[in-house]
Chain A
Amino acid sequence: QKEVEQDPGPLSVPEGAIVSLNCTYSNSAFQYFMWYRQYSRKGPELLMYTYSSGNKEDGRFTAQVDKSSKYISLFIRDSQPSDSATYLCAMSENTDKLIFGTGTRLQVFP
């Protein structure tokens, strides 16, 4: 079993839809949770950074962490074609070593 599980997709949604991306994990010691966006042949771009459980909102993005269920989510409201990318969840015990999911490919069509 992988430490971090993420559905690879692709996930295809119409413009304006609410997108829900998820990861599950097995290591209860994880405390730091991140979401990165990666465009094709580019480096990962940090979107959200969360410590422990709870919600965090930044513009159209909301990150949720449920440590009791070992489940994290990223919601994208009013999705745009420019949101089309691969979304990577990452987590760690102390951020010195990030454990990544395999990424979910998102396509937002006009």
Chain B
Amino acid sequence: NAGVMQNPRHLVRRRGQEARLRCSPMKGHSHVYWYRQLPEEGLKFMVYLQKENIIDESGMPKERFSAEFPKEGPSILRIQQVVRGDSAAYFCASSSGVNTEAFFGQGTRLTVV
């Protein structure tokens, strides 16, 4: 059973471009969470999704950031018009339901140049 799969592992974008980060949850998991980790900081919650629904997006910046988890395919975190401050490691986690353990992927390291 593969774990949570994220791709790409590393992504370089120029300022103003779009970044698309993908997350395939563990088999049997229908709950997906996105977190951001800045250097020397802990992980910060961004958004919680179930299939085709955004459950909690209280940690998402109001502009440029969006997330989806379609019926088929991976969850996507999209960052439009990236800026240098978006450079960070973005982690996806998945769980099988409410109040169960969340397992993390290896992350996507976004660098904006």
Contacts and interface: CB of A to CB of B under 8 A. Distances in A.
A97 to B, nearest CB: 5
Interface string A1-16: 0001010100000000
Contacts, number: 63
B106 A88 contact: no
A98 B34 CA distance: 11
A96 B43 contact: no
A43 B98 contact: no
B45 A98 contact: yes
Nearest to A105: B40
Nearest to A86: B42
A46 B99 contact: no
Measured as residues with beta carbon below 8 angstroms from the partner, the interface class of chain B is 20 to 34
A36 B104 contact: yes
Interface in A8-52: 8, 32, 34, 36, 41-46, 49, 51
A96 B42 contact: no
Residue of A41, A46, A51, A97 with most partner-chain B CB within 10 A: A97
Interface stretch (B14-22, B54-62, B63-71, B73-81): B54-62
24 contacts: A34-B101, A41-B109, A42-B107, A43-B91, A43-B106, A43-B107, A44-B43, A46-B103, A46-B104, A51-B99, A88-B42, A88-B43, A90-B43, A94-B98, A95-B99, A95-B102, A98-B33, A98-B35, A99-B45, A100-B35, A100-B44, A101-B42, A102-B40, A102-B42
Interface of B: 4, 6, 33, 35, 40-45, 48, 55-56, 58-59, 91, 95, 98-107, 109
